[in-house]
Chain A
Amino acid sequence: MKRRHFLGASLLTAVLATTTSIALAENPVLKIGFVGVTSGPAAAWGISNQRSMETRAEWINETGGYTIGDTTYDIEIVSFDDQKDPKRAIAGMEKMAQEGIHYVVGPNVDDGAAAVRPVAEAKGIMYFPYAFPKELYTAPASNAVLGMVANYQSGPAIYKHLKEKEGVNTVAFIAANESDPLSQRDGGLAAAEALGLEVVSDNVTYQVDTTDFTPVLTPVIRTQPDLLVLSGVSPANAPQLIRSARELGFQGLISTETAQDATVLREGAGELANGFISVGGASTPEIASDAMKEFVERYTKMFGEYNDESNTKVYALEYILETLKANPSAIDNVKEFQSTMDTFEASNPYMKGDAKLRYVGTSSFGQKRQVAVPLVVNVYQDGEFKTLFVAEVD
């Protein structure tokens, strides 16, 4: 008898499980790819991307899916760690093509983004890199959409502000010896010179795996600049550089055009990081919407700790889905996607007020190949970022 009960219960469980899985699998799945760096020294960049996408996808799926045209989809994120290696980035993009994916977020760095361009264009994939080279977004390039504000857009705004408000006249640059930071340094250098700032040091670089920056910074600090720019600095290196600069007696301003994380700065540099200026995203209390706050809560719940970089990285998936919603035929046709980009506009769920999601970049690239995220310039103070000013690209 007991055995019969057991068999009955097992059968019931199996039926329920099957029914439930059928119910869960009712929505067709829309796969969105991520190809970026989720291991090694720059892992923080890609992981914040991947986790932002996973958080948003789970949120969408939990609330019934995402409706594009007449179909409601569950969103699945397919991730590939390119280990910051262009060869692996190409392999990742080919994997996405094999899986029939047409929309990919990433790669995170310049050489990876450049390397995947032929694959993306040949296989009909739109991709949203976090890399700044203009040739990726300027015709004849067609399939890349810059997922953030570039340093040559934020740098001039920051330097102008500091020149006018803080009386900055001299500037020094320091960068890691790899393609992204070096190109960002060159962009910043040109912007500073165009503004009439005197560049007192621009050729000091450091190995990307440097852990002790005192010897590296010593010759830079001796030039006594008003502003020290940490070009393209990774969140892992920023606190160490700030700390070393302050310990060497540097009293001036320190800034960067990359996004940073307040917890990392607090733990790594403490009070020495006060006054550090960086580019942020739409999460400062002044501009963050309820949806942004819910996103932060969900991210924190899923992964234990929020990453401030995700304030910017939450946007790419939203842009992809909203653009597909605006033109459902783009779901497997990137030409349709591209034609929609020119006129696309939707409300920005992550900002208060009537902010819009739209594609920009005409002045920088000659075509709309950039997402419009707010250019929020933050200053770090006692464990949190405070908004210094907000501007718009284009």
Chain B
Amino acid sequence: MEQILANGIYLGAQYAMIALGLTLIFALMNVLNFAHGQMYVLGGFVTYTFYGQLGWPFVVALLASCVTLAVLGALIEKFLFAPVIRRSSREESTMLLAAGLAFFFDAIILLVFGEKQRGVPKIVNGVLNWDFRIIMPYDRILICFLAILSIVGFIVFMQYSKTGRALRALAQDRTAAQLMGVNVERYSMIGFAIGAMLAGLVGGLLVTITGVNLGMGGPTSIKAFMMVMIGGAGVISGAIAGGIILGFMEAIGLAVLSQYGDITYLLIFVSLMIFLAIRPQGLMGKPWG
């Protein structure tokens, strides 16, 4: 039971971080960013390059991931999403653009980093073994702690900073925010950059545990969408709740149902379908969008 709890917290924290960036972009711009998983993978590869290949300190490599993805996110918003949104009111235009970006990033990652699984040296050695009731490597504990710290930092930033307040205003009502003097274009770009930066941050953190490879982007995006659907699209607290719920469902399923084969995700998907049939807006979303 203790092990399930520990695995649930660990998985939930990392999933929540993955979902945060996706839901932020959706909240601000109504864009379903199908390339979010690829941004996560890019973040992982940047940390891999600086920490694993060039031997820079992990923290510096992590910062490089954040900065790279933030800049990339800002450029993507300014030169791709913003013009498309200006010219087309059809939602599928941005969806197609995001899907195209996902393929583009996959191709770039293959060209630059190759097809192989990549890994980096452990940032902390050793394993916590509490009387075989909880077995958890120290690096996972550290990453879990850093993920929780990042989530708290993000919430505080959104709650109390001027930029955070502007972004929340934008998410609540774009027109009203504009009428109140919020520079919508500027803050849309900042919001997209922060969303991409969060993907880069979690990619950089998790490369120390899971490694990174070309194919991780698509499945990561799917999981992120699941979390957002559970919590409610465009709601920050919903994404965190969705991540934690998915993490615990996975931890419990893998521990309790392992003897019946790989039915954990089958049950998760069935539960999700039933849940969405009853509450299509998710736990904390609004039915009207």
Contact = CB atoms under 8 A, between A and B. Distances in A.
A41 B215 CA distance: 4
Interface residues on A, range: 35 or more
A305 B111 CA distance: 12
B215 A236 contact: yes
B210 A203 contact: no
Scoring A216, A247, A261 by chain B CB atoms within 10 A of each residue's CB, the highest score goes to A247
Interface in B177-232: 206, 209-211, 213-216, 218-219
Given A39-B106, A40-B218, A249-B135, A211 B206 contact: yes
Interface in B106-126: 106, 110, 114-122
B144 to A, nearest CB: 11
A206 B262 contact: yes
Contacts of A41: 213-216, 219
Contacts of A207: 262, 264-265
A203 B211 contact: no
Contact of A215 (B11, B210, B214): B11
Contact of A235 (B10, B52, B116, B219): B116
Contacts of A38: 115
Nearest to A39: B106
Contact of B214 (A43, A237, A247, A264): A43
B254 A216 contact: yes
A40 B136 CA distance: 30
A175 to B, nearest CB: 9
B135 A267 contact: no
A219 interface: yes
Scoring B119, B121, B259 by chain A CB atoms within 10 A of each residue's CB, the highest score goes to B119
A269 interface: yes
B219 A219 contact: no
B260 interface: yes
Contact of B213 (A212, A236, A305): A236
A98 B261 CA distance: 42
A55 to B, nearest CB: 15
B7 interface: yes
A41 B206 CA distance: 17
A140 interface: no
A270 B255 contact: no
A390 B263 CA distance: 39
A216 B136 CA distance: 13
Interface string A214-227: 11101100000000
A247 B137 contact: yes
A212 B262 CA distance: 15
Contacts of A304: 114
A240 interface: yes
B140 A211 contact: no
Contacts of B3: 218
B247 to A, nearest CB: 10
A254 to B, nearest CB: 17
Interface residues of B, number: 43
Given A43-B115, A261-B116, A212 B209 contact: yes
Nearest to B222: A209
A205 interface: yes
A105 to B, nearest CB: 17
Contacts, number: 120
Contact of B210 (A40, A235, A240, A270): A240
A263 B211 contact: no
A249 B127 contact: yes
B254 A263 contact: no
Contacts of B120: 267
A307 interface: yes
B218 A268 contact: no
Given A41-B219, A203-B259, A205-B262, A212 B210 contact: yes
Given A177-B261, A305-B116, A247 B216 contact: no
A211 B259 CA distance: 20
A16 interface: no
A247 B115 contact: no
B258 interface: yes
Interface in A157-211: 177, 203-207, 209, 211
B101 interface: no
B134 to A, nearest CB: 11
Interface of B: 3, 7, 10-11, 52, 106, 110, 114-122, 127, 129, 135-137, 140, 206, 209-211, 213-216, 218-219, 250-251, 254-255, 258-262, 264-265
25 contacts: A39-B110, A41-B215, A41-B216, A43-B215, A44-B115, A44-B117, A48-B115, A203-B259, A206-B262, A209-B215, A209-B216, A209-B218, A211-B209, A212-B11, A212-B210, A215-B250, A218-B135, A219-B255, A248-B127, A261-B116, A264-B116, A267-B52, A268-B119, A268-B211, A305-B116
A-B interface, 7 closest residue pairs, ranked by CB to CB distance from nearest: A41-B215, A209-B219, A268-B119, A177-B262, A211-B210, A267-B119, A205-B262
Given A43-B215, A44-B213, A215-B254, 18 more contacts: A40-B215, A43-B110, A44-B116, A44-B117, A177-B262, A203-B260, A215-B11, A215-B250, A216-B254, A219-B259, A236-B116, A236-B211, A240-B211, A263-B116, A264-B119, A267-B117, A269-B119, A307-B115
Interface of A: 38-44, 47-48, 177, 203-207, 209, 211-212, 214-216, 218-219, 235-237, 239-240, 247-249, 261, 263-264, 267-270, 303-305, 307
